[in-house]
A and B are shown apart, each in its own frame.
Chain A
Amino acid sequence: MGTIIETNNLRAYYITKAYGVERTVKAVDDITLRIQEGEVYGIAGESGCGKSTLLRILLGAYQPPLTVVGGEVIYHLDGEEMNAADMSDEQQRDLKWRTISYIPQGSMHVLNPVRRIRDTFHDFISAHRDVTKKESFQLTAEYLRDLGLPEKVMASYPHQLSGGMRQRVTIALATILWPKLIFADEPTTALDVVVQRGVIQMLKDVQQKEGSTLVLITHDIGVHANLADRIGILYAGKLVEESDTKTILESPRHPYTRYLIESLPSLDSREERLAIPGRPPALDRPPSGCRFHERCPLAKDVCKTIEPELIEIEPKHFTACHVVEEELNGGHSVYA
């Protein structure tokens, strides 16, 4: 199992210029990721920390004002190494759906309201495969049956389906061509917990059937706990901690991650949960040094001036924190 997609020191900023005032929002700043073939990689963080932006870049679906200003995204697909920046529109288009697919945030409105579900499926399938309408209907019917969706949704219009059903149909639509790499942006947000459960199970099924790679973005740690093999914690456009799900949930090291995990309600303790003090910083003028220092109870002087590097504090557990680094005293920077 090799790497399927990697980023090296990726920087992507929203650069806007109006009336001579330039504004730069550093939504993704110096992120290095290696996502392995066949794994479920979770990306977690608060709203506005750059999760969706990172996903857009990974997916190659972005337009100005979002600009990649540094670093690179490399796909390892079909035994070939492809740099996203060097690919033509044509190549990008060829990859979509057959190899790389996307389950969008807020699936409520991604289905054309005046088109029957089966026709939408035909549009998406025929864009990548030479099929007749009848063939795509058959393919769709089989796939929906496999995923346990009622066949009558085929002839329905989107407004006739419930929110959970629409989300499941969208997942089916995104994965009908068995892509190797699936990106899912908040696939369970805005669904009630019972429906969430079904959607999570379905994502699991889809991923396991073909051994696809799933990159899952959500702020809901519970969903990550259910699905993800590894989790990367994003804070203010930076990757602050990364490890396997068990480690992140049981022994997080970065103070931010610890807050995130500790704020989760638990069954055996009824005491009030601690919230993270303060608010996430605005990314057009991020704090100096460690971006978390303003909200961090452990912050020292060094945190205010020097940016901590992501270091491997134990095998496959990376964190970017001066305090943790000092404690270890002798940890080494991984990507240096």
Chain B
Amino acid sequence: MNLLRTYILPRILQWALVIFVGISATFLIPRLSPINPVDEMIGRMTAFASIDPHAVVSMRESATALFGLEGTLLEQYGRFWARLFTGDLGVSFGNFPRPVSDIIAAGLPWTIGLLSVAILISWVSGVFLGALAGYFHDRRWAQVLERFVVVVYPIPYLIIAFVLIFVFAWWLKWFPLVGGSRGQPGLTWDYISTLLYFGFLPALSLVIGSTAFRFIMAKSLTTTEIASDYVQYAELAAVPKRKIILFYVARNTMLPQVTDLALSLGALFEGALITEVLFAYPGLGFVLYNAIYNADYNIIMGITLLSIAGIATASLLIDLLYPIFDPRVRLR
């Protein structure tokens, strides 16, 4: 009970507060802008045609209601929260009148599938390759691997992605240029294999850069770790290398990387904008790109809210789970 009161409860409160402040800010910031979206919309519609003034007035009214811009700021704020709790994020301007929640729900599984696989693969391979290369730093293969990573790491993501598209999709035609899958969605191998087939290149493009980043981080952490007294002592006692690397080196270098992993998983809800645009992958990033392009405020807001909640929840989870990884933060 004490644990709940002193450790878990304050963190949950903090989480709720962060989300509350974040969402309030997302509500407030567009309303501080001098541009009125209702005027903008009517302006667009009447720019090339004259419309009956009565129609304009009623259109203005219904648009104001639709955008939640009726009444004072405080009234709007109250309604905003009320709508949020019923899961109503408004309607899309670009795909009028499709609800925003619908559009986000359609893009989300793609993004989650692509990014979580890419993040997990790059995390595991980066951390363990980095630990191995750091531990065997005087071996030839480790030096070659490190040089390779150091060369790859600074290459801008755009270039890696373009090269992959150019070589494997356009030139060799091994992988598709556009899309996320083919055929009837379902839990059949036929469908799942097309998911893997379409997802491979975008995932690879993401894995290369972030593996390199985690490799470099893990390697430098390992360099400090192998100089530590407990690693040296275990070596002196001739504890098998496999055990030293796994339980003495990697287990300790993992700690800062766990935080990093959780935050990247939290940021998942923003989507991988550049990846999804380049590979025309139907995830959240692609949705966001189109929304920005079309000034589709409601969608931008919806995705922003989701990513605020995602990151806050991820940090809450790290806080709650971290004692499992590091016994030193465990309460006695």
Contacts and interface: CB of A to CB of B under 8 A. Distances in A.
B326 interface: yes
Contact of B238 (A59, A96, A159): A96
For A61, A94, A123, which residue has the most chain B Cβ atoms within 10 angstroms? A123
B239 interface: yes
Given A123-B239, A127-B239, A104 B251 contact: no
Contacts of A106: 229
A154 interface: no
Contact of B327 (A59, A61, A109, A113): A113
B240 A109 contact: no
B247 A112 contact: yes
A104 B229 contact: yes
Given A114-B327, A123-B243, A157-B328, A102 B248 contact: no
A156 to B, nearest CB: 9
Contacts, number: 62
Given A96-B237, A127-B239, A128-B238, A159 B328 contact: yes
Contacts of A123: 234, 239, 243, 247
A157 B327 CA distance: 7
A113 B252 contact: yes
Contacts of B229: 104, 106, 108-110
B228 interface: yes
B240 A127 contact: yes
B234 A112 contact: yes
27 contacts: A61-B236, A96-B238, A97-B237, A97-B238, A102-B236, A104-B229, A104-B233, A108-B229, A109-B228, A110-B229, A110-B230, A110-B233, A112-B230, A112-B251, A112-B252, A113-B230, A113-B327, A114-B327, A114-B328, A115-B247, A115-B251, A119-B247, A123-B234, A124-B234, A127-B237, A128-B238, A157-B328
A61 B229 CA distance: 14
Interface in B302-332: 325-328, 332
Nearest to A101: B237
B251 A114 contact: yes
Interface of A: 59, 61, 93-94, 96-97, 102, 104, 106, 108-115, 119, 123-124, 127-128, 157, 159-160
Given A102-B236, A114-B326, A119-B247, 4 more contacts: A104-B229, A109-B230, A113-B230, A123-B247
B261 to A, nearest CB: 17
Interface string B15-36: 0000000000000000000000
Nearest to B327: A157
Interface residues of B, number: 22
Contacts of A128: 238
Interface string B160-187: 0000000000000000000000000000
A96 B328 CA distance: 30
A87 to B, nearest CB: 13
Contacts of A112: 230, 234, 247-248, 251-252
A97 B238 CA distance: 8
A160 B247 CA distance: 19
A224 B248 CA distance: 34
Interface in B35-60: none
Closest 6 CB pairs of A and B: A109-B229, A93-B238, A110-B233, A157-B327, A112-B230, A127-B239
Contacts of A61: 236
